[in-house]
């Protein structure tokens, strides 16, 4: 009992100290430094063009138009989030499906036939796996270069531009591996679509 009387007030005091230090001081210092040094990154990497906002380069969106590049399969969620006026907002979640079930086999088969129909130019070519799978966050803004190239012929036809131009856009929106090793090469789908729409400028390669 005497031990308890000795321990309890000190435990409480230590807890208060570190709640202030780790909860308030630490958070405020990191936020202050971040806003000072990295204002764009710290605020959500939102794309601005001609004074308007065009999505965040970090959040995937769903594209189904023939003239837009398609991204990862998305499981949309419009139930959870609302804006200040009460209108629904879009968000997305991962599928959490097992890739070893019969239901999954059927699901992927449907996706394959839909993609083949939309991309007749590619015939029976195997479809890059990114296009038939849901991502980890549900909000993956990227696809692999293989998945982007698979759609180049369709985009060229729908937009009435050359495939080379589509490829140029894809190349411009492709990020390599970090230090050439870490992660995977990936294409930002929103940036591709904003370039196809003429919102973001396509820089003519000065080769």
Partner 1 sequence: MSTVLQYILYLVLLVILAIPLGKYIQKVMEGEKTFLSPVLIPWENTVYRILGIDRSDQMSWQKYLLSVAAFSGIGFVFLFLLQLFQGYLPGNPQNMAGIKWDLAFNTAASFITNTNWQAYSGEAAMSYLTQSLGLAVQNFVSAAAGMAVLFALIRGFMGIQTDGLGSFWVDMTRIIIHILLPLNLVISLLLVGGGVIQNFRGAESVPLLEPVAVSAEGEILSNAQINLSDNTVTVGGKIIKDAEIVTEEFVPMGPAASQIAIKQSGTNGGGYTGVNSAHPMENPNAFTNLVEMLSILLIPAALCFTFGHGVKNIRQGRAIFTAMFICLLLALGSIALSEQAATPQLAQGGAVNLSMADQAGGNMEGKESRFGIASSASWAAFTTAASNGSVNSMHDSYTPLGGMAAMLLMQLGEVIFGGVGCGLYGMLSFAILTVFIAGLMVGRTPEFLGKKIEPYEMKWAVLVCLATPMAILTGSGIAAMVPEVAASLANSGAHGFSELLYTYSSCGGNNGSAFAGFSANTIFLNVSLGLVMLFARFLPIAGTLAIAGSLAGKKKVAATAGTLSTTNGMFIFLLIFIILLVGGLSFFPVLALGPLAEFFTQAI
Tell me how crowded residue 98 is: count the other CB atoms within 10 A of its CB.
8
Dist CA 115 CA 108 (whole Å): 11
83 is an interface residue for partner 1 by CB under 8 A: yes
Please identify, using beta-carbon distances, which residue of 96 and 206 lies nearer to partner 1: 96
Please identify, using beta-carbon distances, which residue of 124 and 204 lies nearer to partner 1: 124
Number of residues that bind partner 1 (CB under 8 A): 114
Which positions from 138 through 177 interact with partner 1, judged by CB under 8 A?
Answer: 138-147, 149, 175, 177
Please identify, using beta-carbon distances, which residue of 19 and 162 lies nearer to partner 1: 19
100 is an interface residue for partner 1 by CB under 8 A: yes
Q: Which of 120, 162, 164, 184 is in the footprint of partner 1 by CB under 8 A?
A: 184
Please identify, using beta-carbon distances, which residue of 120 and 177 lies nearer to partner 1: 177
| Alpha-carbon Rg for the chain in angstroms | 24
- Burial class, 95, CB count within 10 angstroms (exposed 0-12 / middle 13-18 / buried 19+): middle
- Binding map of partner 1 across residues 30-69, x = CB under 8 A, - = no contact: xx-xxx-xx--xxxxxx-----xxxxx-xxxxxxxx--x-
Residue burial 114-140, b: 16+ Cβ < 10 Å; e: rest: ebeeebeebeeeebbebbbbbbeebbb
- Binding map of partner 1 across residues 107-126, x = CB under 8 A, - = no contact: -xx--x-----------xxx
With a CB cutoff of 8 Å and minimum separation 6, the contacts of 102 are none
130 is an interface residue for partner 1 by CB under 8 A: yes
**Are residues 131 and 150 in contact, defined by beta-carbon separation less than 8 angstroms?**
yes
132 is an interface residue for partner 1 by CB under 8 A: yes
């Amino acid at each position: 009992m005497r031990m308890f009387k000795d321990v309890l007030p000190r435990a409480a005091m230590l807890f208060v100290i570190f709640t202030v230090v780790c909860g308030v001081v630490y958070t405020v210092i990191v936020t202050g430094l971040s806003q000072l040094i990295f204002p764009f990154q710290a605020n959500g990497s939102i794309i601005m063009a001609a004074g308007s906002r065009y999505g965040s380069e970090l959040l995937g969106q769903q594209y189904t138009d023939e003239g837009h590049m398609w991204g990862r399969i998305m499981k949309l969620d419009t139930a959870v989030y609302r804006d200040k006026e009460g209108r629904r907002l879009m968000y997305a979640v991962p599928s959490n499906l097992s890739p070893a079930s019969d239901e999954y086999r059927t699901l992927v088969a449907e996706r394959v036939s839909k993609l083949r129909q939309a991309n007749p130019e590619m015939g029976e070519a195997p479809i890059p796996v990114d296009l038939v799978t849901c991502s980890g966050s549900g909000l993956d803004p990227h696809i692999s270069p293989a998945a982007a190239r698979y759609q180049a012929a369709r985009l060229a036809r729908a937009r009435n531009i050359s495939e080379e131009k589509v490829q140029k856009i894809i190349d411009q929106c492709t990020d390599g591996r970090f230090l050439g090793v870490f992660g995977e090469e990936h294409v930002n789908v929103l940036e591709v679509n904003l370039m196809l729409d003429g919102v973001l400028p396509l820089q003519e390669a000065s080769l």
